């Protein structure tokens, strides 16, 4: 009897799961829940499956991705994005990692091509989580997709590779915002997300401060928060609210903010920016601040990854693209971003690029928020141009005074996403492709317990 148990236990050889990811958003919302689900599926036998995370370059990276991934229970090794190209091209990791004979490369952020190239190099099975688009159909072994609509764009001969798993963000949304209406009965909270880079903060912070002050004159019960990006320290953020450091303030409402702190019990208190008229904007340093954001009735945000996260959490938002200073916006991707950030000539290129973008946007009604791009229509209102605090404030008041409009936005955001349970279903695909039978794992568990 003991020999049979030994044979069964040895049936599963050491395996590698290599997860490819990139930015902090993907790590928190995709990698963490999937790793947890895989560990739960494998239960006590999970030590036989080594989990490695390799990061690829990301424009939204904070520089803290390695530490973040290393903090996830179940992750055994992490490699920084700065070593990624050496691994992609030469197959070498910084610390000369060894690899087991059998494994899976799982795509959870970055470029899907990386999955194909690395899986072929290692001789592993490739699995891609496809949120909106599935690529490299001929070479990827399995796809877990967010919604069945993706299959409409896929040739029939590849359908056997696809499983509709749902939305990895949906589980997070359920945990963080279970009852928004109940939370907001005695609290009207507005989230302000002015960005994380100087190009956006120069205009975003003054516009948000002035708008908050305007709103509070009309609705004294309203409170405001700014989730501070992990790449920023509070003192740096506060500089963009100081007219001596940020002269653009005078062009966008002229409202400054002074850094303040209140002490509470056990020396715990809140840190906030306070405007001359007494409006307070609390600074939230917790990352990610999803729990606090889920309490917001509405958010004001700049373009970028923020719009995707708010959309996934089904939080209504107004997207702001101020153009008071055309050369201030230099955070474009690709060649426009390179030209806008050139020394000496960068300012001139930035003005030209932003002027062209503004004209193009107005003429062709281009959409910038990710939920709007995905839906091919404006779900989140987008305001672009020389925005005034009053103009933005009136739009906020219009929505706050018409809860049915806010609810319609929320419903549209929910309908845009997939169903919950994606992490568990994706974990099942990984275990299946690794030839780990859940029944066998369960039987091993029972037999091991019987030996004590």
For residue 290 the two structure tokens come to 């999803």
Residue partners of 53: CB distance under 8 A and separation at least 6 = 18, 19, 21, 27, 31, 69, 72, 75, 77, 78, 79
Alpha helical stretches, state H, 369-417: 370-375, 389-400, 403-416
Element (H or E) spanning 51, and its range? strand 49-55
Can you give the pLDDT at residue 444?
A: 35
H/E element, 9? helix 2-9
Residue with tokens 């229509």: 377
Using alpha carbons only, what angle is made at residue 295 by residues 291 and 301, rounded to the nearest 5 degrees? 90
| Cβ count near 3 (within 10 Å) | 7
Q: Are 29 and 169 in contact (CB under 8 A)?
A: yes
Residue 226: per-residue pLDDT: 97
Angle between helices 168-176 and 305-312 (to 10 degrees): 70
The structure tokens listed for 222 are 């309203």
Mean pLDDT by 10 residues, the chain (452 residues): 43 86 86 93 79 89 86 95 93 93 95 95 96 94 94 94 91 57 65 87 94 96 92 90 93 93 67 95 88 93 86 92 62 58 69 70 76 91 91 97 95 88 94 69 38 30
CA–CA distance, 271 with 236 (Å, rounded to integer): 14
Domains and CATH numbers, the chain: 2-167+419-450 (3.40.50), 175-416 (3.40.50.2000)
Instruction: Give the other-Cβ count within 10 Å of 404's Cβ.
Output: 7
The 10 Å Cβ neighbour count of residue 72 is: 20
Look-up of token digits 């915002």: 177
126 closest CA partner among 437, 429, 418, 422: 429
Q: What does the CA dihedral 142, 148, 151, 156 come to, rounded to 10 degrees?
A: 80
Among 7, 19, 355, residue whose Cα is nearest residue 168: 19
Q: Of 337, 359, 333, nearest to 346 (Cα)? A: 337
Q: Are 292 and 355 in contact (CB under 8 A)?
A: no
Over the stretch 162-197, which tens digit does the pLDDT of each residue have? Answer: 999 999 887 766 666 544 444 445 679 999 999 888
Which residues, at least 6 apart from 436, have a Cβ–Cβ distance to it below 8 Å? 12, 15, 41, 42, 49
Rounded Cα gap, residues 164 and 171, in angstroms: 15
> Cβ distance 166 to 420 under 8 Å?
yes
* Contact call for residues 84 and 109 (beta carbons, < 8 A): no
Q: Where are the beta strands (DSSP E) in 252-410?
A: 258-263, 269-274, 280-284, 298-301, 317-322, 382-385
| Distant-in-sequence, close-in-space partners of 237: CB < 8 Å, separation ≥ 6 | 201, 205, 226, 228, 283
Given the structure tokens 């994606």, which residue do they identify?
422
Pair 53, 77: CB distance under 8 Å:
yes
Strands (E), 158-233: 162-164, 188-193, 222-227
* Other residues' Cβ atoms within 10 Å of the Cβ of residue 247: 11
Report the alpha-carbon distance of residue 275 to residue 16 in Å, rounded: 54
């Amino acid at each position: 009897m003991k020999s049979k148990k030994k044979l069964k236990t040895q049936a599963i050889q050491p395996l590698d799961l290599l997860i490819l990811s990139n930015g902090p958003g993907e790590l928190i919302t995709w990698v963490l829940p999937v790793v947890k689900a895989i560990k739960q599926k494998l239960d006590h036998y999970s030590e036989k499956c080594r989990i490695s995370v390799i990061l690829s370059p990301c424009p939204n990276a904070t520089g803290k991705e390695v530490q973040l991934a290393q903090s996830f229970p179940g992750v055994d090794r992490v490699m920084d994005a700065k070593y990624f190209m050496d691994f992609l091209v030469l197959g070498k990791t910084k610390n000369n990692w060894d690899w087991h004979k059998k494994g899976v490369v799982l795509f959870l952020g970055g470029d899907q091509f990386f999955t194909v190239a690395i899986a072929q190099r290692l001789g592993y099975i490739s699995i891609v989580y496809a949120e909106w688009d599935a690529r490299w159909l001929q070479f990827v072994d399995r796809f877990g997709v967010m919604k069945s609509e993706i299959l409409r764009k896929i040739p029939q001969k590849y359908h056997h590779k696809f499983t509709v798993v749902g939305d990895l963000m949906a589980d997070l949304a359920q945990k963080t915002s279970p009852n928004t209406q109940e939370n907001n009965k005695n609290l009207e909270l507005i989230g302000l997300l002015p960005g994380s880079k100087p190009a956006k903060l120069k205009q975003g912070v003054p516009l948000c401060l002035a708008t908050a002050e305007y709103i509070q004159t009309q609705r004294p019960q309203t409170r405001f928060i700014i989730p501070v990006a992990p790449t920023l320290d509070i003192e740096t953020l506060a500089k963009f609210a100081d007219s001596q450091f940020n002269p653009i303030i005078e062009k966008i409402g002229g409202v400054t903010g002074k850094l303040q702190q209140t002490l509470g019990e056990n020396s715990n208190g809140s840190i906030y920016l306070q405007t001359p008229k007494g409006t307070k904007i609390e600074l939230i340093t917790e990352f990610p601040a999803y729990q606090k954001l889920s309490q917001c009735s509405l958010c004001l945000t700049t373009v970028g990854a923020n719009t995707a996260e708010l959309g996934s959490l089904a939080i209504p938002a107004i997207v702001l693209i101020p153009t008071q200073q055309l050369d201030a916006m230099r955070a474009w991707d690709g060649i426009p971003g390179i030209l806008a950030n050139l020394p000496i000539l960068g300012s001139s290129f930035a003005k030209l690029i932003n002027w062209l973008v503004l004209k193009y946007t107005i003429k062709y009604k281009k959409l910038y928020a990710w939920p709007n791009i995905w839906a091919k229509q404006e779900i989140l209102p987008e305001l672009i141009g020389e925005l005034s605090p009053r103009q933005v404030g009136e739009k906020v008041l219009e929505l706050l005074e018409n809860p049915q409009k806010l609810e319609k936005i929320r419903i549209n955001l929910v309908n845009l996403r997939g169903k919950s349970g994606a992490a568990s279903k994706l974990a099942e695909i990984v275990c299946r492709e690794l030839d780990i039978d859940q029944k066998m794992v369960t039987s091993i568990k029972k037999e091991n317990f019987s030996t004590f």
